[in-house]
Amino acid sequence: MRPLLVIIGSAALSVLLTGCLTVSQYKFSFDFQTGEVRREYYDIASKPAPDEKDYSIEKDWAALKQLAEEKKAEFDPDVVEDISRELFAEGSVLSGRKLHKIKCPKCFPSKAAILSYLHEKDWRFELVHDEVMLILPAGKKVVSTNGQSVATAGNSVIVWPRESSKFEYVVSEPFSGGTSLLPYYLKQRAGPK
């Protein structure tokens, strides 16, 4: 698994120092006209990695806070501007949001190229007959999208028509579950007693 910030960065949340940060859903949107990129992670939780002996939810919470507060650019700052990152309570779960802005969307050779740049390598974007196609990594299922979704027993695919300028989807994460980090967030937000 890959480190979270990608809140917080890409769609997979993963092993960090100790334990494993997970989410139940990942939401992505990109507006080609404005260059705005929005990523949301729903139901952030912690659970021990399969072979971990020194698991600590407190260490996972500290690592998540550090990632959310970190000012290190995730992408080349000449290409993508980091706008904001935040953790927030959403109903009874902890969620995270990260906003970016692509400085020159039209400088990329295609919309698929922009989307590929913004995702991990296992998220496969292709340009097929001038339509953008996303072939999701194994285990991820489409919850909603503004494109057309096709699911088979082994694959989930989203296709956006040529004229699309907004690309949105929500996917479920296969390795979700664990102990919610919401109580740690609420305790920090309440401040010292």
Tens digits of per-residue pLDDT, 126-144? 999 999 999 998 889 999 9
Cross-strand partners of 158: 134, 149
**Per-residue pLDDT tens over the stretch 84-124:** 999 999 999 999 999 999 999 999 999 999 999 999 988 99
**Does 18 have pLDDT greater than 80?**
no
pLDDT-derived band of residue 2, with 50, 70 and 90 as boundaries?
Answer: very low
Higher pLDDT, residue 18 or 67: 67
Predicted pLDDT of residue 19: 61
> Under a CB-based contact definition with an 8 Å cutoff, are residues 140 and 172 in contact?
yes
Average the pLDDT over 143-165 and give the result.
95
Supply the pTM of this predicted model.
0.85
- Assign 193 a pLDDT band (cuts: 50, 70, 90): low
Burial tier of 77 (Cβ tally within 10 Å: 0-12, 13-18, 19+): exposed
Distance CA 150, CA 13 (A): 24
**Token pair 């979700």 in the structure block, residue:** 176
pLDDT band per the 50, 70, 90 thresholds, residue 50: confident
Q: Taking the domains of the chain in order of start, what are their residue ranges?
A: 20-190
Which is more confidently placed, 193 or 4?
193
